[in-house]
């Protein structure tokens, strides 16, 4: 009977590990997409005229 309990506990830990691995992969992919989205948006909406350089007066 003790072996059966250990087997179920092993199966549960295996499922938990798979779940956390899936969560980690989804998090990494979503962070990548957010980073790419920010880069694309900043590239599209860049300022048309950059502020001119003001020379220091002596």
Give pLDDT tens digits for 1-58.
Answer: 455 666 667 777 888 889 999 999 999 999 999 999 988 887 776 666 666 666 766 6
Per-domain boundaries in the chain: 1-58
The predicted structure's pLDDT at residue 34:
95
The distance in angstroms from the start CA to the end CA of the chain is 91
Q: For the whole model, what pTM was predicted?
A: 0.56
Q: How far apart are CA 33 and CA 40, in angstroms?
A: 10
33-47 pLDDT, tens digit per residue, is 999 998 888 777 666
- Which pLDDT belongs to residue 11? 74
Count how many residues are written for the chain: 58
């Amino acid at each position: 009977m003790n072996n059966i309990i250990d087997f179920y506990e092993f199966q549960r830990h295996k499922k938990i590990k798979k779940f956390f691995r899936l969560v980690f992969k989804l998090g990494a992919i979503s962070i990548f997409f957010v980073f790419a989205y920010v880069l694309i948006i900043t590239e599209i909406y860049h300022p048309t005229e950059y502020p001119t350089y003001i020379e220091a007066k002596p």
